[in-house]
């Protein structure tokens, strides 16, 4: 149970992120992406502050390990979302999603180096199979013609790194302050400030005053995304990052399945069977290693 529970929570979080993908895509039809990111992250922060009196100890704010949650907030979700927005514009959504499959690698390397987690041959094979399956699902049916400079590939890689590297930092902080809720609260609050600075620096401040009904989509996005991040932090608090990270990264697979079964925008083909086999085989090796 101690092994399967964090994996189950991680899978549930990735499913929530996939559902949020469709809500976010619908909302972006009529909203500036950066303003949308600010609205969603700030909504997340407000939501957690409303519940803070019930779940937060005042002493945690002066605890030295809070610095780890502050550092997380500088990059996630703020910078990660900003880099992803820029990446989609530069290299396209398909390549951005595919390179997002590198997230487990960015999470696992520091976990092994600084947290002492094991990484043997079985885990390596499982990681490789899952990352291949995730990349294949994200690249499904897309022909990519390079019309961008090679340096632009650093954008989706950096976005993936921003998501992965924060997991070990969060784990270190949770070892001393065992509250996934508090970790999410601080990260969301710092990210709100970071995104506001970016909004001001890019001359988009006036757009915040043009709030409309369509902007409410990103209030919903923030609530759902905040719940998913809380679940990720909960999973991290329960188990090893090297075991959990590949399952958190299965979002493209759930996006595909939801697009086929619920939103009716995807068609399943033989390639998808290969994706499922790769992810299930790799996931099994990661879970039982």
**Which tens digits make up the pLDDT trace of 62-89?**
999 999 999 999 999 988 878 877 777 7
**Model confidence, pTM:** 0.90
Question: In the predicted model, is pLDDT for residue 140 greater than 60?
Answer: no
Tell me what percent of the residues of the chain surpass a pLDDT of 90.
Answer: 45
Cα–Cα distance list, 280 to 74, 127, 219, 237, 289 (Å): 34, 11, 34, 24, 14
Q: What gap in Å lies between CA 89 and CA 203, rounded to an integer? A: 18
Task: Provide the domain limits for residue 229.
Answer: 4-288
Question: In the predicted model, is pLDDT for residue 50 greater than 90?
Answer: yes
Residues 6 or more apart whose Cβ sits within 8 Å of residue 49: 185, 189
**Which tens digits make up the pLDDT trace of 163-192?**
999 999 999 999 999 999 999 999 999 999
The predicted model gives 239-267 an average pLDDT of 86
Structure confidence at residue 99 (pLDDT): 77
CB 225 within 8 A of CB 85: no
User: Would you state the structure tokens that stand for residue 205, as one six-digit string?
Assistant: 């401040």
Q: Of the given ranges (67-71, 78-82, 139-143, 233-237), which has the lowest mean pLDDT? A: 139-143
User: Would you state the structure tokens that stand for residue 274, as one six-digit string?
Assistant: 């290969």
The predicted model gives 227-231 an average pLDDT of 96
The predicted model gives 14-23 an average pLDDT of 87
Reading phi first (left if > 0) and then psi (alpha if -120 to 50, else beta), residue 100 is in: alpha
Q: Number of structural domains, the chain?
A: 1
């Amino acid at each position: 149970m101690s092994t399967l529970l964090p994996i189950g929570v991680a899978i549930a979080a990735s499913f929530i992120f996939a559902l949020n993908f469709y809500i976010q895509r619908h909302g972006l039809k009529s909203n500036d992406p950066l303003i949308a990111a600010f609205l969603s992250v700030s909504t997340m922060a407000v939501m957690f502050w409303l519940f803070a009196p019930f779940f937060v100890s005042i002493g945690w704010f002066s605890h030295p390990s809070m610095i780890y949650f502050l550092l997380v907030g500088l990059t996630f979700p703020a910078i990660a979302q900003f880099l992803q927005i820029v990446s989609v514009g530069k290299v396209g959504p398909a390549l951005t999603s595919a390179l997002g499959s590198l997230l487990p690698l960015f999470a696992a390397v520091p976990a092994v180096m600084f947290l002492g987690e094991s990484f043997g041959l079985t885990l390596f094979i499982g990681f490789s199979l899952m990352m291949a399956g995730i990349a294949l699902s994200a690249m499904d049916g897309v022909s990519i013609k390079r019309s961008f400079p090679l340096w632009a590939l650093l954008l989706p890689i950096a976005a993936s790194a921003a998501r992965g590297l924060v997991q070990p930092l969060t784990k270190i902080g949770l070892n001393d302050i065992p509250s996934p809720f508090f970790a999410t609260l601080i990260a969301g609050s710092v990210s709100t400030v970071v995104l506001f600075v970016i909004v001001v620096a890019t001359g988009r401040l006036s757009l915040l005053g043009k709030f409309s009904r369509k902007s409410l989509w990103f209030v919903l996005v923030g609530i759902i995304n905040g719940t998913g991040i809380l679940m990720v932090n909960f999973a991290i608090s329960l188990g090893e990052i090297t075991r959990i990270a590949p399952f958190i990264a299965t979002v493209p697979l759930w996006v595909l399945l939801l697009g086929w079964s619920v939103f009716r925008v995807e068609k399943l083909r033989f390639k998808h069977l290969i994706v499922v086999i790769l992810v299930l085989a790799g996931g099994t090796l990661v879970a039982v290693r």
